[in-house]
Amino acid sequence: MVYGAGTSVLTRRRLFGLCGALATALSLGPGVSWAQSTRVATLFQGATDSAVALGLRPCGVVESWSEKPVYRYLRPALAGVPSLGLETQPSLEDLALLAPDLIVASRFRHGRIAPLLQQLCPVVMLEEVFEFKQTLLALGTAAGREADATALLQAWQARIAYLREALQRHYGAQWPPTVAILDVRADHLRSYLPDSFAGRVLSELGFAWPVASQGSAAPSIKLTSRESLPVVEAEVFFVFLRADQTAVQRNYASLLEHPLWQRLSAPRRGQVWRVDGVAWSLGGGILAANRLLDDIERVLAAQGVG
């Protein structure tokens, strides 16, 4: 059982005592709305993003994957909010001391500690961390802000429809082009597939996927050698660098100079676009998804599309 970094036997005893004192064991079931929930603790990035989108100030959040302790785009809303540690191993004692009245977690990350979370207060347990629409609706329902969540999703659908039409006009007979989402790291390249966070958004916009990217349930594939580059052959590349590190920059510069890269369709067509990795891969919520669409709009503007 995972209890959180540095949790001793004594700490666990204190934790269970706090659990009993704070709340009875209860899990949020289908159709149950906790409209009075004001102290919401979020245990994954998409939940934190969704809470901010709904106008909620979490009582505690987990540390971001980069731009620590929280992503820059969320800092104004989260200034002063306590950290609960790592998303993969949140501190349950710190969580108990915050006395939340609602916890938003993910079965993917927190399934093993779900019984402990449920001793603290009601828990919204999402299946995945990047299903941003489900996260938004579940949190909105639980916190009594279902109308706000619905309005955000309606605005999302309207924006998707607008951008899809703009893309169709721009590409004309070439619509839809095939697309690849490339994450450059220090020692390898990762290609995100249709079932990833960004992949689902691009699919909503109508982009096509190369045959090599279709049919996989995995969110990404890892390319460890330059000889694997033909796997990501596509007409449009969206590229981000995982970290602002010299090794990552060096790897990307080397990639751009490689003959196999230069033979791919997107580089030959001048259709390689740098985008924000936090929005495209790490944020996981409705606000991050809209920042992804901001990048798409910037690409269209750069190509002279009004």
The one-letter amino acid at 81: V
What is the structure's pLDDT at 4? 34
CA neighbor of 275 nearest in space, from 202, 215, 167: 202
Residue pLDDT, tens place only, 154-172? 999 999 999 999 999 999 9
Using the predicted structure, report yes or no on whether residue 21 has a pLDDT greater than 50.
no
What is the structure's pLDDT at 42? 98
What is the structure's pLDDT at 31? 36
What is the structure's pLDDT at 306? 54
Give, for 40, the enclosing helix (H) or strand (E): strand 40-42
CA 33 – CA 209 distance, rounded (Å) = 39
Give, for 60, the enclosing helix (H) or strand (E): strand 60-61
What is the structure's pLDDT at 29? 35
Mean pLDDT comparison of 11-15, 32-36, 138-142, highest-scoring range: 138-142
Write the CA distances from 244 to 45, 67, 72, 75, 221, integer angstroms. 20, 10, 14, 19, 22
What is the structure's pLDDT at 17? 39
Using the predicted structure, report yes or no on whether residue 33 has a pLDDT greater than 50.
no
**pLDDT mean over 51-65:** 97
Domains located in the chain, CATH noted:
9-144 (3.40.50.1980), 151-302 (3.40.50.1980)
Residue pLDDT, tens place only, 80-119? 999 999 999 999 999 999 999 999 999 999 999 999 999 9
CA 240 – CA 182 distance, rounded (Å) = 6
Q: Considering only 26-30, 62-66, 143-147, 270-274, which range has the smallest mean pLDDT?
A: 26-30
Task: Count CA atoms closer than 13 A to 270's CA, side-chain side.
Answer: 3
Handedness of CA 181, 302, 295, 199 (dihedral sign): negative
DSSP 8-state assignment for residue 192: E
Mean pLDDT of the chain: 87
